[in-house]
Structure 1
Amino acid sequence: MPLPQGGLSKILNETRIGAYSRITGLTVKTLRFYHERGVLVPERVEVGSGCRYYDQRNVDRARAIVVLREFGFGLDQIVEILRECGEETQVVRFLEQRRESLIQAISRDRELLRSIDRIIQQNGRCG
């Protein structure tokens, strides 16, 4: 097997998909899906076996993806954020947009709850 560019030290710093799954907390299935969607591309894929290898840069990106998913961003948004956000200030801009979106959703939900409460009070309880 020919060594990848960077030689033996590069191979020693790469992690196979199973171990990478344990490191990141993402399932192997999710990692494959993210690879197919271009969200989290492995450092290299072994020709023939198709084995995926990830490096530290991929770990940092995976952690960012997990956090952004927890904040409610979709994969397309995450791809955009990671592509555009070379600086922390750009990440903050996306988080501010998400925050505003959540505030609007909470406001709509509160209004919906008030409407439901009015109907309950006007009509009494069922039963």
Structure 2
Amino acid sequence: MYKIGDFSKITNLTVKALRYYDEENILNPSYRCEENSYRFYDDNDFKKAELIVLLRELNFSISEIKDVMNICEDKADLSYILEEKKDMVNKNIMEEKALLKKISLYIKPNLLEDDGVNYIIQVKDIPAIKVAAIRYKGKYSDCGKHMGRIYKAIKGDAKGEPFNCYYDGEYKEEADIETCVPISKQVYDSVVTIVELPQIRAVSTIHNGTYESINMAYKAIFDYAKGKNISCLTPSREIYIKGPGMIFKGNSKNYITEVIIPIELEV
């Protein structure tokens, strides 16, 4: 048995840390004296302490360490956990790189897209169209996986550019979205639905560039509609004339998207 001071020396964990781990039920001493509540640790506790030190070096959070200590029984278990942690780190790296790229746009003004783009606004009739669709509630970024699912189902029978219908009148964290691909013939699939979208009269404009700045196209349409006293309806559409591929995103500055917002028909 080791007193807490001695145990601190052989584990490189401070007495304060050992007391904290005891309080959090991460590393409890094997024996506690009833008279003075002194903590005593054994060789099994030493192995647990070694694991905790390793996890700290690998930047595991306290909650993660607690979870590991509860479910890890041998080296095989630890191997699975470390693989999961590696995936989490890689995901964080990708997110941080994307953030750095976005920050760079504001550090170097020449990389910014032109905020003064003059959008050409059109009022036109959009004909009825038959589409293979998946309607869902989720993040705006989820549409890619649903788009891929639709293309897999229709097996080359697409008849036009893919698009999304947005049924919410405002921005939402969990949006009501219908991902659509025009089709040339009937498709039978357990997930994909065949929908006949009706003819609509709409205000539209073309947005050139990244999806992060597509809000400016919506602003241009709303400003036009307000000036003409036109009532905008839902669902709005984004037709992806030129966008990312299924695997590679390509240069997002070259994306071309038509934004379409239905308007109330004149009586």
TM range (shorter): 0.7 to 0.9
Asked if 1:90 is matched to 2:77, the reply is yes
Q: Distance in 2 between matches of 1:30 and 1:82?
A: 16
What residue number does 2:10 align with? 23
Structure 1 runs of 4+ aligned residues shifted over 6 Å read none
Task: Give, in whole Å, the separation in 1 of the partners of 2:61 and 2:102.
Answer: 30
CA displacement, residues 91-122 of structure 1 (integer Å, 9 cap, x when unaligned): 11111111111111111111111112222211
**Separation of aligned partners in 2, 1:57 and 1:120:** 53
Residue 123 of structure 1, CA deviation: 6.2
1:64-75 matches, cutoff 5 A: 64-75=51-62
Identity %: 32
Question: For residue 60 of structure 1, what is the aligned residue in structure 2?
Answer: 47
Q: For 2:108, what is the secondary structure of its paired residue?
A: helix
RMSD, aligned CA: 1.6
Note the alpha carbon deviations across 1:41-73, whole angstroms, 9 max, x for none: 111011121111101111111010011122122
**TM-score, normalised relative to structure 1:** 0.80
Q: SS of 2:40's equivalent?
A: strand
Higher helix share: 1
Deviation at 1:82, TM superposition (A): 2.4
1:50 and 2:37 are equivalent in the alignment: yes
Partner letter of residue 43 of structure 1? S
In structure 2, how many angstroms separate the alpha carbons of the residues matched to 1:51 and 1:123?
Answer: 65
State the one-letter code of the partner of 1:65: I
- Measure the CA separation in 2 of the matches of 1:118 and 1:76: 36
Question: 1:29 is paired with a residue of what secondary structure?
Answer: helix
Count of aligned positions: 111
Separation in 2, partners of 1:48, 1:112:
56
Unaligned runs of 5+ in 2: 112-267
Where in structure 1 are there 5+ consecutive unaligned residues? 1-13
- Higher-strand-fraction structure: 2
Instruction: Please give the secondary structure, in 2, of the residue aligned with 1:26.
Output: coil
Deviations for 1:12-43, whole angstroms, at most 9, x for unmatched residues? xx010011111111111111111111111111
For 1:122, the equivalent position in structure 2 comes to: 109
Distance 1:93 1:45 in 2: 33
Distance 1:117 1:79 in 2: 38
Compute the displacement of 1:74 (Å): 2.2
